[in-house]
Chain A
Amino acid sequence: MRIPSLIICLLFSFIPTLAQQCQLNLDGTWKDDSSTKTLYRFDAGKTLSVIAGDNTGPLATARYALEESQSRQITLTSTKGGPILGNGKDPVTIKSFDDTSITFLTADSNVIRWTRVDPNRYFITLVARNGEFYDSSGSAFPILTRISSLETVTDAVGTYSDVGTSAFGRVPAKTYIDFMHEPRSDSGVMLRLEINGAQYERALRVLQIWDRRVKENALLYQYQVPLNNIILIKAVTETLNACTDAVKLYKLNYIHPEDWISDNYSPQFIPFVYFSELKKLNGARHVRDEEFEHLYNPSAAMVDK
């Protein structure tokens, strides 16, 4: 690297990366770790409600305002019942938070931890195959699944086989359904992980952006299409760890010699090797077909978007 390039890199080195940051999202239902029956619900209308476990209606409500200056603080104004958090007068500080929990520090120094309550289950399945296309590379895409009591929603975007030729974009249902089972040979790889709602939403956002890029002819790489899939799978997997190191990741950063995958493989093979490496690192958390099949209803999920 020439000296001017080095200076430029150093001067710009404080530019924040475009990776997604952990964002506080209060909306939804929470339960206090110290109490089993009471639930708390933040809604978008800036109301916090206390709900009894039997769903008989709110026991107390308060309007809330979130201040995000130096420290995150919530100011609550009771509208029904007594104070919900702290003494009801002083603001409550958010000490820490991640995708599934939030810890408050009240004015009288009490530490309260809430955990998110989510009736849905979420999965990410990373699948890839070799030997499908003329250059012996193959399909590689992440599949996101949200399973609720009412419906199963599946999204998949990436490189897939369209009658033997490589295609990039939203994967048709009839194609991804074929990838929902563990491969029986070394030419396929699959890692299925159970994730939380926030991780699902972030990963889904990445897939939606790439789906939009395909539809609007706005791919980042117009001619080197496999490079788009590399950026997609890198963003999807890295977004899982935006709040906590939930998944053991391989650093696909193109830095020699740390990133041996990009050093040794052509772009079209990188997703397969990357998913294989993630499978090695996270094999213990892999959700096997037997566990997944009783949750997943393929016919309900086979909906093309």
Chain B
Amino acid sequence: MKRRELFSITKPSFHPHPASPGVGRFTNALLRTHENKEVRFYDDLIRGKQVVVNFMYAECHGACPLVTQSLIKVHRALKNRMGRDLFFYSITIKPDDDSPAALEHYARTRRANLPGWSFLTGNAFDIETIRFRLFGMNHPGFDLDAAMHAGTLRIINDGTNCWTAVEAFASQKAILKHISWADPPKSYTDRLLESRVRQTLIDKDVKAYGYRRDV
């Protein structure tokens, strides 16, 4: 076994950023996963982690499956991180209709029962609070329309207190780029290595076209 693999199987410890809004903003609502496991929204799902949150419902045959398909592609691209330091949470906007079994069926039929990805249901009161706290735009006209929130992916890194969002139908490249904005800070060595690789591409571009393209 390689040394890197040996380290990667140890469970990472998650520490929230000192400025994280914590339970006060995220709430610590009791939710249920599609595996029928009880979880606390902040303590178990958000605290110190990097997460991508979206809203959907099981009987949705329009946009939700398309968003799920898009997330499956993103999951594939980031599969080494999924369930380790990156997590996807799909929360139902119709908790009264969507039991854990219904969500499990949705995840299974869409082939989205993947590591690091939880489908969540709970109490309508709590889910509405979470929806407004994470996706609210300080505009009742938009916020009362659940569709406005369902078309957005909220990306949060509680370890760095970084929040960003991207349209659910954005390209895979754009979604990956937004997720990377919330990535934990890289070490000096990693940044140096990345810069060298990028510089090689820039040099190649300049040589071929006479100017730098988007690398």
Interface positions of A (Cβ within 8 A of B) = 4-5, 7-9, 11-15, 18, 209, 212-213, 217-218, 220-222, 224, 227, 230-231, 234, 253-255, 262
Contact = CB atoms under 8 A, between A and B. Distances in A.
B27 to A, nearest CB: 7
For B63, B125, B167, the residue with the greatest tally of chain A CB atoms inside 10 Å of its CB is B63
Contacts of B139: 254
B169 A7 contact: yes
B25 A8 contact: no
A13 B64 CA distance: 12
B195 to A, nearest CB: 33
Contact of A255 (B141, B167, B169): B141
A231 B140 contact: yes
Contacts of B57: 15
A221 B136 contact: yes
B125 A9 contact: no
A8 B140 contact: no
Given A218-B125, A220-B133, 15 more contacts: A8-B147, A8-B168, A11-B63, A12-B60, A12-B62, A12-B146, A13-B147, A18-B146, A218-B27, A220-B132, A222-B133, A253-B141, A254-B139, A254-B140, A254-B142
Contacts of A230: 140
Contact of B129 (A15, A218, A234): A218
B192 interface: no
B138 interface: yes
A5 B151 contact: yes
Interface string B155-197: 0000000000001111000000000000000000000000000
B101 to A, nearest CB: 21
The 6 lowest CB-CB distance pairs between A and B, nearest first, are A254-B141, A12-B147, A8-B151, A11-B63, A220-B132, A11-B62
Given A13-B147, A18-B146, A220 B167 contact: no
A227 B140 contact: yes
B125 A15 contact: no
Nearest to B129: A218
Among B62, B138, B144, the most chain A Cβ lie within 10 Å of the Cβ of B144
A9 B151 contact: yes
Nearest to A8: B151
Interface in B116-151: 125-126, 128-129, 132-133, 136, 138-144, 146-148, 150-151
A234 B140 CA distance: 10
A8 B167 contact: yes
A213 B150 contact: no
B25 A222 contact: yes
Given A8-B151, A231-B144, A220 B24 contact: no
A11 B168 CA distance: 12
Nearest to A252: B140
Nearest to B142: A254
Contacts of A12: 60, 62-63, 146-147, 150-151
B125 A212 contact: yes
Interface in B10-40: 24-25, 27
A170 B193 CA distance: 59
Contacts of B25: 222
B66 interface: yes
A14 B138 CA distance: 23
B148 A9 contact: yes
Given A8-B147, A8-B151, A220 B141 contact: no
A89 to B, nearest CB: 35
Contacts of A11: 62-63, 66
Contacts of A231: 140, 144
Contacts of B150: 8, 12, 15
Contact of B128 (A8, A220, A227, A254): A220
B93 interface: yes
A253 B140 CA distance: 8
12 contacts: A8-B147, A8-B168, A12-B62, A14-B62, A15-B93, A15-B150, A18-B146, A218-B126, A220-B143, A221-B138, A227-B138, A234-B144
Contacts of B144: 18, 231, 234
B5 to A, nearest CB: 39
A230 B128 CA distance: 16
Contacts of B128: 18, 220
Contacts of A9: 147-148, 151
Contacts of A13: 147
B70 to A, nearest CB: 12
Nearest to B23: A217
